[in-house]
Amino acid sequence: MELDTLKDAFDRVVKRQKLSSFRSQEIVDQVGHEIEQALAKIKAINDPLSPVHLKSILSELKLKLNTVGPLNLLEGLQKERNINLSKYPKLLEKSFSPDISKAYRNVDFDFHLVNQIVANHFYQQGLFELGDCLIDEAGEPEAIAIRSHFLEMYQVLEALKVKNLGPALNWITLNREKLNQNGSMLELKLHRLQFVEIVKKGTKADALSYARTHLAPFASLHMNEFQKLVVCIIWVGKLDSCPHAELMAPTHWEEFTQEIIKQFCSLVGQSYWSPLSVAIAAGIEGLPTLLKLANVMAAKRQEWQEMKQLPVPVELGKELQFHSIFVCPVSRDQGSEENPPMLMPCQHVLCNQSIMKLSKNTSRTFKCPYCPTEASAAQCRQLHF
């Protein structure tokens, strides 16, 4: 990846800079040491007015400094620094095109929808004033409907920062049925956090009372978790020796906070990552490929923006892949239930219709379009993504 190359180049420049600075300091220190020694000799002579002694000391100092050659050494180091520094900007210019408009395709945006997406992003990030300002200036009153949900979410998150579970419990209780349908264990995790805080600061009696009231209802479905928590009661006052000390880790609060955010977004029909942040992340990752394509097509005097399909794949990270879609490399058709992807013995994949055409409706064997292997339709297996 280009960013990795740039980082490596930057690290090399920094390393050489540090080495050069260290060497320069060594030279300066050496010169200073020789001068200090000469001064000490001058102070130590019995007759400070004797020109013979002073001249011999200064001549010796000059000889030593000429041997060291500090000016030549420092100039050489400075030249080396300048060369390293001058190469890096050139690499930056080569890697990053200043004109990214070449990768832009003219499309008819639904500005009403874009405004809503941006406003929702601000609300999801807790930037309520920015979201309100955008809605007022763009005249998008419909977008404010989601505001109250995210406002409630951030009230819960602010309470969690000071380990106040009350607002979170109220929200979970109110939405218990929907959370259960999602298979969420938020309520158990909340009571686990509260129980652990009691174990840390309270008494065995307090912990036992809380377990009976709030944890016992989960025992039948989560017996292993319940047993671990109950065992912790025995170790009140000496939790460092508890066999389940991992339950006391502060990371459980961070995990619970992220789970709260995910469930909040899920119940209001929003994704955990806002569409705006996903679109920008995907655009940044795909931009280098699109710029290269634009430059290549421009050299061939072809207009890539008029193509219905890109001639090269745009590789995105797994976190930006949301749907498993297969496109047949032969027919360019997208796989479907009626035309599923089929795995050939050679491990290449084609759509079923392409295999039917190649095999003349299963009447003969055919050669794989991508390797010398021959196969029959009967040897091909359907793939399920």
In sequence order, the 6+-apart residues with CB closer than 8 A to the CB of 14 are none
Fold of 323-384: Herpes Virus-1 (3.30.40)
Is the pTM here over 0.75, yes or no?
no
**170-218 pLDDT per residue, tens:** 999 999 999 988 888 899 999 999 999 998 887 889 999 999 999 999 9
Helices 128-138 and 111-124, interaxial angle, to 10°?
160
Average confidence (pLDDT) over 277-294:
86
Instruction: Please indicate whether residue 313 or residue 120 has the higher confidence score (pLDDT).
Output: 120
Q: Calculate ∠ Cα 197-202-203, nearest 5°.
A: 135
Domain boundaries, the chain: 3-95, 140-268, 323-384
Q: Closest Cα partner for 14 from 4, 25, 22?
A: 22
- Amino acid (1-letter code) at residue 179: L
Percent of all residues in the chain with a pLDDT value above 70, rounded to a whole number:
94
CB-based contact 320:275 (threshold 8 Å): no
In sequence order, the 6+-apart residues with CB closer than 8 A to the CB of 167 are 155, 156, 159
- pLDDT band of residue 154 (cuts 50, 70, 90) is very high
Q: Give residue 1's pLDDT.
A: 47
Q: Closest Cα partner for 367 from 352, 348, 384, 353?
A: 348
In sequence order, the 6+-apart residues with CB closer than 8 A to the CB of 362 are 356, 376, 377, 378
Q: Which residues of 200-237 are buried (b: 16+ CB within 10 A; e: fewer)?
A: eeeeeeebeebbeebbeebeeebeebbebbbebbebbe
Average confidence (pLDDT) over 266-275:
89
CB-based contact 289:315 (threshold 8 Å): yes
Interatomic CA distance for residues 324 and 338, integer angstroms? 16
CB-based contact 225:196 (threshold 8 Å): no
CB-based contact 314:291 (threshold 8 Å): no
**317-362 pLDDT per residue, tens:** 888 877 677 888 888 888 888 899 998 888 889 999 999 998 888 8
* Unique residue bearing structure tokens 């039948």: 220
